[in-house]
Amino acid sequence: MARFPGRSWAPSAAGASGSTTSPRSTGTAGSAGGRPHGRHQQPRAARQGPAKSRSVAGQVFALQVVVVLLLVAAAVVALVVQSRNDARQEATNRSVAVAQTFANSPGMVEALRSPDPTAILQPKAQSVAVNAGVDFVVVLNTDGIRFTHPNPDRIGQKFVGTYQPALQGQVVVEQVVGTIGPLVQAIVPVHAPDGQVVGMVSAGITIANVSSASERQLPVVLGAAAIALGLATCGTALVSRRLRRQTHGLGPAEMTRMYEHHAAVLHAVREGVLIIGGDGMLLLCNDEARRLLDLPADAEGRPVAELGLDRAPEELLTAGRAVTDEVVLAGERLLAVNVRPTDQDGGPPGSVATLRDSTELMALTGRAEVAQRRLRLLYDAGVAVGSTLDVERTAEELAQVTVGRFADYVTIDLAEQVLAGEEPPPGPDLGRMRRAAFAGVRDDSPFYPVGTVLEVVPSTPLAGALHSGLPAVEPRLAEASAWRDQDPERAAQVLAYGVHSLVRVPVKARGVLLGVARFWRSERTDAFEEDDLALAEELVAHAAVCIDNARRYTREHAMAVTLQHSLLPRSLPDQNALDVAHRYLPAQAGVGGDWFDVIPLPGARVALVVGDVVGHGLHAAATMGRLRTAIHNFSTLDLPPDELLGHLDELVNRIDQEESATGGPAAVTGATCLYLIYDPVSRRCTLASAGHPPPALVGPDGHVVYPELPTGPPLGLAVLPFETVELEVAEGSRLVLYTDGLVEDRERDIDEGLELLRAALAGPPRTPEQTCADVLGALLPARPQDDIALLVARTHVLSPDRVAEWEVPSDPAAVGGVRAAVAERLEEWGLEEAAFVTELILSELVTNAIRYGTGPIRVRLLRDRSLICEVSDTSSTSPHLKYAATTDEGGRGLFLVAQFADRWGTRYTATGKVIWTEQPLE
C-alpha cells in the first residue's frame, strides 16, 4: 500500500506481532479506539505485511517437542555407544576364553606333534566352535599354517592375523574385518610340558553376533519419548482451548489480520476521514485528510478549533449536525464535506467527517487519456511479448512494442548465462552482459549493436540499479554525470545525438536478476517522469517472466538433448559382419525417443535395432533408454527376433501397469521397434517388427526393395505373437533401417517418403557413410518435427576357408577323430598354439552332447575376430555350470570350458540348441 503524505500514526509493534492488547496513552483517543496523541507513523515502506502468527500454545508445544527429541537422541546415542563397547568387550572375553580352553585341553600337545594334526583337531575344533558360540576355532603351527578351519579349503594356508607375539607366550587379541564382517579374534599359545610353544589356537566371533543389555533398553527409551510427546500434545491442546475461549474464538492471526485490515482500509481510501469527539477534540485522521486540510503532525488529540483551519471547513466540522456533500473552499482546494454523528444507536458522542477533493476532477479527466494509452500499451505488450520460447526473440519483442509509443530507443542487456539458457550468477553482480535486443525510431543511432559485450562499471547508476533491483529515471541526461562513467566516449555521442532522458529497469523474474532494460528519448521533447517508472516496471516485469521461461526452456531442452545423447550408443562395437554408418538428428521442437543399436551376437552374427517412442521431452528420452537397456539384456539370451519382441512387449505392459498404479506421468504405449539379425556365414537375415516401418534392402546392383514384413502392433498393444521373416542377402548389399521421422512429415505422407527414400538409395554402390549423407540430403525437412534415426549396414560374408564343419556320430569313440580333424584345421589356419585348448573344449562339449543330447551332432569352427567353436544337437536340454564336490565323478566339464574360453553360452534353434565358445586369437 502506497504511503500518503502527512500520515502520523502506525500499528504498534505488539499489534503487528499478533498480540491482542498494546499500551495506549490515556485520554479520549484510547476510549474511542483511536491512536495515541502525538504518535508519529513509521515510514510506510517499513511496514510489514499481515503477520503469520503462531499461537503461544503452539510455540510451547514446539519447544517441548524439540527438548524431548534432543533428550531421546542423546539417550539413543549413549545406548548405541554403550552397546557397541559391551559387544566388543563380550566378544573379546568369549574368544580368549574359548581359545585358552581349547589350547589347554588334554591331548592338544600330542595332537599337534602327531603325523596328521588336522584329522584329530578339525572335528574337535568344529564342535567347540558350535558349542561355545564362536564363529571359528583355528589351530596353527608355529609357522602360522592352519591345521583346522571352518572352510576345509583354507586348511594348510597361512593364517591372516598377528600371531608372532603368541610364539613368545603372549595372548594376542585383535579386531579385524573379515569375510563375515567385523570380528574379534584371540590367538593363544599351546605350551608343551617343558614350556615350549608348540602351536597356537585362534578363536573368533563377529561383533554382530554379540548382543548387550543396552540394546534391550532402546524400546524403553523410545516408549518414554512417545509418552512425553503425548503428554505435551494434551497440555498444548488444553492451553490452546483456553486461549480460544478468552479471545472469543479469534486466534492471533485473525486478530492481527483484523487490526491490519482496519489500518489498511482507513488509509487506502481516496477520501479524507476524521473522527471528532463530543468535546470537539480530533481523535483520528487519515493521510488523505491531512493532505487536504494541511494538518500539522500533532493534530490528533488537539481541539479542531486550534488546528488553524479555514473558517468554512472548521464550522462544518464543529457544527455537530449532519452535512451532505457541502462544498467549501479550503486553501486552493474545493472540498466536498460529509458529516455524520456517531452517538446514534448508543454510540459514543462525536461525529465522523469525510472529505473529497473536487479540484482533481479536471486533472483526472486529462489523465484518463494517458492512462488509456498506457493500458493499451500494456495489453499489446502482453500479447506480443513472449510469443516464442527464444530468449533473444522475447527481448526483441519488448523493444519493438515500446519503441515509438513509450520510448524512442530501447536497449536490453542480459547476462551471458541467461542467453545460453543457464542460471544467472547469484547476487547483483552479473559480471558480463551482452546486448540481447535493440530497437529505435532511426537506424543511425550511436548505441551499441546487438551482441556487444558490456562490462558494468561499479561506480555507475547502472551498477546501482542492478545492485538494488529498483528502477530509476534520469529526466535530464545532460545534467547527470555519473552515468557517463560507463563509457565516456559513447555517452558523449549519445548526448550529441539528441538523447535527453532515460529510464532504466532491472530485468528480474522470480527474484533472480537477469539483466537490465533501458528506455531512451530523443525525438520526443517531454522527459521521462516518475509516473513513467510504473509503466516501465510493468512492461519489463512481463517480459522478464517470458525471458526466464525461455531461458528455462533452453536449459531443459539442452538437458534433454544431453540425456538423449548419453542414452544413445557412444560408438559402434567392432565386428566383421557389417560396415555400419549411422545418423541421429533430434527434432528442433524438442528431443524424442528414437534410438538405434548395433549388438554383436555369438557365431559372428550382428543384431541391428531401431526404435521410436512416441512423444518428446525427458520422459520419451528416459523411456527410450529403458527400452534400449532391455533389448541389450534380452539379446544376451540370444533369442530369435520374435521372442525378443515378445519379451519387450511384456516389459512395456509391466511398465504401463506400474505407471498407472503409482500415478506416473505417462505410459510407454506407442513405442515401435525393428529387430534384425544378420548371419555372415549363411548370409541370412532374420527380422521382426513391432509397428515399425519396414527396412530397405539395397542389392549390390543398386536395386531397392522393401521386404514383405508382417508388421505387428506397437509394443504394449500386442495381442498375438510377433512373426519372423528370413531373407537371404547377397554379399555387398546394404540394409537401411530408419525411423518414421525420415519418411513422414506434415508436408508429405509415408508412401511419398518411402518413394523418395527408394530414389535416394538406388544407383551405383556407395559406402554406408555416403549413403547416409545422400539420404539425409534428399529427405531431411527444413525444420524436422520429429527425431530421425538412420542406420545403414553393408553386408560381408565369412569366406568358406574360415569355416569348418563336421558331423559327429553319437559314439564316444568318435571324439578322438573330431579332435584330430580340429587340430589339423587349426594348423592350416596357423593357430597351432590354440590347438590344445580348442581340443579340450570340443572334447568336453562333444562328449556332453553324446551323453546327454540327441543326434545328429555337428561341430563348427569359425575364424573371425576370435576363434568360435560351436557344438549343436537336437536336444533342448540346457547345460548349467556348477562346482563339483570332491566325491562327484563328473560336473567339471563346463567349468573347464568356462575357464579356458573367453566367452561361452547356449542359443536355441528350431531343431535344438547350439553351445558355443569364443577364444581370443592373440
Q: What is the DSSP letter of 151?
A: S
pLDDT for residue 793 is more than 90: yes
pLDDT at 29: 37
3-state SS class at 874: coil
Q: Give the confidence band of 250 by pLDDT, cuts at 50, 70, 90.
A: low
| C-alpha separations of 389 from 485, 545, 617, 835 in Å | 35, 11, 15, 67
Give the C-alpha distances (Å, rounded to integers) separating 22 from 17, 25, 30.
11, 10, 11
Lowest mean pLDDT among 275-284, 503-512, 659-668: 659-668
Of 180-184, 347-351, 655-659, the poorest mean pLDDT is in 655-659
Q: What is the structure's pLDDT at 601?
A: 93
Which among 379, 436, 367 is positioned nearest to 405, based on CA atoms?
Answer: 379
pLDDT digits (tens, 9 = 90+) for 871-899: 988 887 777 666 655 554 455 667 778 78
Max CA separation in the chain (angstroms): 137
Q: Which residue has the higher pLDDT, 363 or 901?
A: 901
pLDDT of residue 578: 93
Among 30, 38, 118, which residue's Cα sits nearest to residue 297?
38
Q: Is the peptide bond before 193 cis (omega within 30 degrees of 0)?
A: no
pLDDT higher than 60, residue 31 = no
Span 468-500, pLDDT tens digits: 888 999 999 988 888 888 888 999 999 999 999
Using alpha carbons, select from 811, 814, 802, 817 the residue that is nearest to residue 921.
802
pLDDT (tens digit per residue) in 575-591 = 989 999 999 887 766 66
pLDDT tier, 50 (very low <50, low <70, confident <90, very high otherwise)? very low
CA distances from 461 to 485, 523, 529 (A): 9, 24, 17
Type of residue numbered 145: I
DSSP-H helix ranges across 498-617: 530-567
Strands (E) across 572-632 are located at: 578-585, 595-600, 606-612
Cell numbers for 244: 480460544
> Model confidence at 32, in pLDDT bands (50, 70, 90)?
very low
Distance CA 41, CA 152 (A): 91
- Please check the confidence at residue 370 and state whether its pLDDT lies above 90: no
pLDDT (0 to 100) of residue 345 = 74
pLDDT at residue 782 in the model: 73
> Tens of pLDDT along 292-327?
888 888 888 889 888 888 888 888 888 888 888 888
Report which residue type is found at 909: T
**Cα–Cα distance measured from residue 309 to residue 524, given in angstroms and rounded to the nearest whole number:** 44
Q: Which of 288-292, 430-434, 691-695, 875-879 has the highest mean pLDDT?
A: 691-695
| HEC secondary structure over 649-702 | HHHHHHHHHHHHHHCCCCCCCCEEEEEEEEECCCCEEEEEEECCCCCEEECCCC
Contact predicate 838/916, CB 8 Å: no
Q: 779, 754 in Cβ contact below 8 A?
A: no
**Is the pLDDT score of 38 beyond 60?**
no
What is the average per-residue pLDDT within 54-71?
Answer: 71
pLDDT at 156: 85
Q: 476 or 664: which carries more pLDDT confidence? A: 476
Bigger pLDDT: 372 vs 528: 528
Give phi and psi for 536, each to the nearest 5: -60, -40
Q: Give backbone dihedrals phi and psi of 802, rounded to 5 degrees, phi first.
A: -105, 10
- State yes or no: pLDDT of 348 exceeds 50: yes
Task: State residue 170's pLDDT score.
Answer: 87
Q: Which residue has the cell 530369435?
A: 640
Q: DSSP 3-state assignment of 506?
A: strand
Mean pLDDT of 804-821: 87
Q: Cα dihedral sign for 308, 310, 311, 315?
A: negative
pLDDT at 248: 64
Distance CA(860)–CA(825), nearest Å, equals 11
d(CA 86, CA 84): 5
- Give the type of residue at 286: N
870 Cβ contact list (under 8 Å, min separation 6): 603, 858, 859, 860, 861, 862, 914, 915, 916
Task: Specify the higher pLDDT residue, 52 or 614.
Answer: 614
Residue 274 CA to residue 266 CA, distance in Å, equals: 10
What is the model's pLDDT at position 664?
Answer: 56
pLDDT at 590: 63
* Distance between first and last Cα of the chain: 84
Element (H, E) at 7: none
| CB-based contacts of 841, cutoff 8 Å, min separation 6 | 869, 896, 897, 900, 901, 917, 919
Cα torsion 615, 616, 619, 620: sign = positive
Residue 286 has pLDDT above 50, yes or no: yes
